[in-house]
């Protein structure tokens, strides 16, 4: 099994200071992969900068110029959550280009699967706006690129970040070629992602939102994967699967209230890999979104690579949650989503 990763020090130059989304995230990931010797089992993919034409597959050119100009002026705050430094534009175009390059490597048969370890993240960025720590929507750009270059007809995006990927949803809300499925804590930032947001026109039904109550852990997430994501994916029959991988549903995460463990992430990735193997020749590309507890993030990503490599031993040093939340019942939610999307 040949598994690749995208990484470059350019991503550390997106200097956000003491912001929770900072360079320490990638440094912790790479350090852990090196210390555990997993990195030597992986193939490095050197990223390239996304072109203006590639960025404009998703974003308005005026908006792209706005981000470039903001960096040239020295950066600053774009909104209450999102900050730039002088090198942020360069890091952001290499983040978008990183997942594009990973997608090329998988589609061209160089690799079986790949993970783009990039920042800034992307799934909140809309065609006209930066938000939620995101400048350009990396996964959306790679999706549009793959549709165009490889003449694909169906791509599945699975987003298990704890926040709803409003920018990704907005990009493909009227596009029947893309099935977007999101699991997220709800109601929570950015406030979108209710079950009745299902797409418009010919794309009605190709947005599947799974708005979970706070306190959901491994069992609830696996129920959702097995009862909603698997049948929806099989019905759609994608030719490529892209994953917005956020590790902030972990129980140790300070920005959210979910209860997922590293073992739980491994189980979810195992299901996704099984879908890719069954439906699209194993073609599977991950890109990093959230995750701000450095131990949970680094070990979660190692567990993801272990699953992709076929390693059976999953290290979960943090174990199950030490927080005491009442486990919510999501049976009625699952029933409502299945009825909304006519799933068996």
What is the full DSSP assignment across 13-41?
Answer: GS--TTSSSSTHHHHHHHHHHHHTT-GGG
Other CB atoms within 10 A of residue 154 CB:
17
Rounded-to-integer distance, Cα 133 and Cα 262, Å: 24
Rounded-to-integer distance, Cα 28 and Cα 26, Å: 5
| pLDDT interval class at 59 (50, 70, 90) | very high
Read off the pLDDT of each residue in 35-57 and give the average, rounded to a whole number. Answer: 98
CB 117 within 8 A of CB 162: no
Read off the pLDDT of each residue in 91-113 and give the average, rounded to a whole number. Answer: 98
Q: Which pair of tokens denotes residue 6?
A: 């995208």
Read off the pLDDT of each residue in 22-47 and give the average, rounded to a whole number. Answer: 98
What local confidence, expressed as pLDDT, does residue 326 receive? 78
pLDDT at 322 over 90: no
| pLDDT interval class at 327 (50, 70, 90) | confident
Q: Which pair of tokens denotes residue 138?
A: 């990396």
Read off the pLDDT of each residue in 40-44 and give the average, rounded to a whole number. Answer: 98
Report the SS3 class of residue 222.
helix
Rounded-to-integer distance, Cα 60 and Cα 186, Å: 29
What local confidence, expressed as pLDDT, does residue 325 receive? 73
pLDDT at 291 over 90: yes
What local confidence, expressed as pLDDT, does residue 118 receive? 98
CB 146 within 8 A of CB 169: no
Which domains, and CATH codes, for the chain?
3-340 (3.40.800.20)
Q: How does pLDDT run across 132-169, given as a tens digit for each residue?
A: 999 999 999 999 999 999 999 999 999 999 999 999 99
pLDDT at 303 over 80: yes
CB 6 within 8 A of CB 139: no
Looking at the annotation, which residues are catalytic? Answer: 124
Q: How does pLDDT run across 161-193, given as a tens digit for each residue?
A: 999 999 999 999 999 999 999 999 999 999 999
Read off the pLDDT of each residue in 68-86 and give the average, rounded to a whole number. Answer: 98
Task: Calculate the average pLDDT of the chain.
Answer: 97
pLDDT at 324 over 80: no
């Amino acid at each position: 099994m040949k598994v690749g990763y995208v990484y470059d020090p350019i991503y550390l130059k997106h200097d956000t200071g003491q912001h929770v989304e900072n360079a320490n995230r990638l440094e912790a990931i790479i350090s852990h992969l090196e210390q555990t010797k997993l990195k030597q089992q992986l193939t490095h993919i050197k990223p390239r900068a996304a072109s203006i034409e590639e960025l404009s597959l998703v974003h308005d050119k005026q908006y792209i110029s706005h981000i470039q100009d903001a960096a040239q002026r020295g950066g600053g705050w774009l909104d209450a959550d999102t900050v730039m430094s002088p090198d942020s534009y360069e890091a952001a175009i290499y983040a978008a280009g990183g997942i594009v390059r990973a997608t090329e490597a998988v589609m061209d048969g160089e690799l079986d699967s790949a993970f783009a370890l990039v920042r800034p993240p992307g799934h909140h960025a809309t065609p006209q706006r930066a938000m939620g720590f995101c400048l350009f929507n990396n996964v959306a750009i790679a999706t549009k690129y793959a549709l165009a270059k490889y003449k694909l007809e169906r791509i599945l995006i699975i987003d298990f970040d704890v926040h709803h990927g409003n920018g990704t949803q907005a990009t493909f809300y009227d596009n029947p070629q893309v099935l977007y499925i999101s699991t997220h804590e709800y109601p929570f930032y950015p406030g979108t992602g209710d079950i009745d947001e299902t797409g418009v026109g010919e794309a009605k039904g190709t947005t599947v939102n799974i708005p979970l109550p706070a306190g959901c852990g491994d069992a609830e997430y696996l129920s959702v994967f097995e009862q909603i994501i698997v049948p929806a994916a099989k019905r759609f029959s994608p030719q490529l699967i892209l994953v917005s991988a956020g590790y902030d549903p972990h129980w140790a995460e300070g920005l959210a209230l979910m209860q997922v463990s590293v073992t739980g992430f491994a189980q979810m990735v195992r299901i996704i890999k099984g879908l890719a193997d069954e439906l699209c020749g194993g073609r599977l590309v991950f890109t990093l979104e959230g995750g701000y507890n450095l131990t949970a993030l680094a070990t979660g990503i190692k567990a993801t690579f272990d699953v992709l490599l076929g390693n059976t031993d999953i290290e979960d040093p943090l174990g199950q949650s030490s927080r005491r939340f009442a486990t919510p019942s999501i049976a009625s939610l699952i029933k409502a989503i299945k009825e909304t999307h006519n799933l068996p």
